[in-house]
Amino acid sequence: MSEFKAVQTEYKGYLFRSRLEARWAVFFDTLGIQWEYEPEGIVLSDGTHYLPDFYLPDFHCFFEVKRKGIRGTAEGDAAIAKISDGQNHDSWAGIIGFGDPMDDDLYIFCQETDDGGGGCYENEITIGLHPDTHKPYLFAYNDRRDRCFFTHFGEDMGDEMIPMLTHEYGKYRYNDFVNSRVRYARKAARQARFEYGQTPKVRRDR
């Protein structure tokens, strides 16, 4: 069996390590989500160094991209262990996405709090648009509890509140966040072509 080899891809002056990463950048741009590519390295709890693929200022989260189909394998578990390390010592939050945006296979690792207290949080999420403000938002569609999400706890945690909502007893639903603009952005990312180093045209639906 041949070993999977990622193809370096140029987009917006960045040389991404894979076409999959570039497709996520197209998705972020189409939805108006700010992103930074490999902005800084992190020292993990075990002392090893880790460079996440993206930092998303809108969500205060690092974002790691992995190919579809490796979740549940040793490779996938190792990737999750890295991106989730921040919640172990309450310092940063991370999201991992398996596949391209249309696959919609994402998980978040952060801190959460509700009336009963707080602690580590990890769950399935999607990236969408808030149905009222139409701004980029995260949505934990399998969680019916009302809670708030942070990168860390402490006196300054208000600055790092993650814009994310839950199903909250049926008040919000998946399709409220994943509307036609989001579906268009997913399609634009999957269909982007980079064969000759060209920059794909990004159109934002209004």
Tell me the mean pLDDT in the region 117-132.
Answer: 93
Q: In this structure, which amino acid lies at residue 149?
A: F
> Does the pLDDT of residue 113 top 80, yes or no?
yes
Q: Is residue 199 scored above 70 in pLDDT?
A: no
DSSP state, residue 60: T
Q: If you average pLDDT over each of 64-68, 116-120, 199-203, which comes out highest?
A: 64-68
pLDDT tens-digit readout, 132-189 = 999 999 999 999 988 999 998 876 555 589 999 999 878 899 999 999 999 999 999 9
- Could you tell me what percent of the chain has a pLDDT over 90? 75
pLDDT band at 206 (very low <50, low <70, confident <90, very high): very low
Checking if the pLDDT of 2 tops 50, the result is: no
Comparison of pLDDT for 116 and 169, the residue scoring more:
169
pTM: 0.90
Across the chain, what does the average pLDDT equal?
A: 89
Alpha-carbon gap, residue 189 to 24, rounded angstroms = 7
In the block, which residue shows the tokens 């706890």? 153
Most distant CA pair in the chain: distance in Å?
54
Give residue 136's pLDDT.
97
Q: List C-alpha distances in Å: 129 to 47, 83, 93, 205.
A: 37, 24, 20, 12
**pLDDT tens, position by position, 64-94:** 999 999 999 999 999 999 999 998 888 899 9
Angle between helices 19-31 and 180-191 (to 10 degrees): 150
